[in-house]
Amino acid sequence: MDYRLGDLAERLKLELSGDPERPIRGISALGSSRPDTITFLADSRQREKMSGTRAAAVILRREDREHCPVDALISVDPYLSYAHLSVVFAAQPAAGAPIHPSAVVDPGASLGNGVRVGANAVIAGGVILEDGVEIGPGTVVLQGTRIGASSRLLANVTVHHDCVIGRRALIHSGAVIGDDGFGFAKDGRDWIKIHQLGRVVIGDDVEIGSNTCVDRGAIEDTVIGDGAKLDNLIMVAHNVRVGARTVMAGCVGIAGSADIGEDCMLGGGVGVAGHLRIPSGTTVMGMSLVAGSLREPGVYASGMSVLERKDFQRNAVRFRQLDDIAKRLAALEKALQERE
């Protein structure tokens, strides 16, 4: 679909610097911009990439305008403006029949206005799908689950029994919501399963990525707060609580009963041990291990960056010697104190 640059400026509430009649037919990346598209400059350190741009226009900050050879939209936050712009050009698949003939919908399910159910999906008895819910092909929603208005579950999502998903949620393919938490008690040589009696409760405006698993609670519920965003391949164990607007990158693993505050950011591969607290507003850098509760919000990191093998091996040997070195140092300090 084609748009005028002036129309986009008005829609995004941005200042136009250039020809309002300029046609815009899509979005392109700054480094590989295509004619008749719009791109964006999020980082002023990348200004030099604009010199050879083939895009028709660039979204940028006011201080970067003089370096741009084409039309521009002036934004305080170009990356945020790009996020809003992406909605305009997002491709929407053509709608088929509201309920695909191959879908299995139990007569005991309640479907609101405008609900769509894709091919081979299964909706069990007692499920409530509020107005405008979309269920993708092959998705399974089991007994007693409630899904809020305008939520979308893409292909091959599984939602187990008695879960609650809020409004405007987006759950990507392969995600599993409400499977059993990992609970066992040792009886001699055998492990006895602890049946998981809680639910998963997901708030409004939550996005959950592909192949992410959110376990149901053992007794109390596992809770994902409003506006939280979870990337692909994340593990959220039973009884975890994730605060509103917290975001997690891929491969984060959160052990049972951890309590993650609001507005936190967890980088890729972060591991969080069970039964601990991360306060609201905390950032944990990628590949870090949180092994104990954090007392104050801040930016935390752990782990070691990659080294050449010989350097790593040398450091690994020294690491194993640290305890002995610490004891020898303590003995030396004690001897010095006695001499003084």
Nearby residues of 180 by Cβ (< 8 Å), 6 or more positions away: 195, 196, 215, 216, 238
Helix (H, G, I), strand (E, B) or coil at 16: strand
User: Residue 83, Cα to own-chain centre: how many angstroms?
Assistant: 15
Instruction: Name the residue type at position 243.
Output: G
One DSSP character per residue, 30-74 reads GGG--TT-EEE---GGGGGGGGG---SEEEE-GGGGGG-SSEEEE
Residues annotated catalytic, as ranges: 238
Of the candidates 37, 16, 34, 33, the one whose C-alpha atom is nearest the C-alpha of residue 25 is 37
As to burial, measured by CB atoms within 10 angstroms (0-12 exposed, 13-18 middle, 19+ buried), residue 2 is: exposed
Nearby residues of 33 by Cβ (< 8 Å), 6 or more positions away: 39, 53, 54, 55
For residue 224, give the H/E element and its range: strand 222-224
Q: Longest C-alpha distance within the chain, in Å?
A: 90
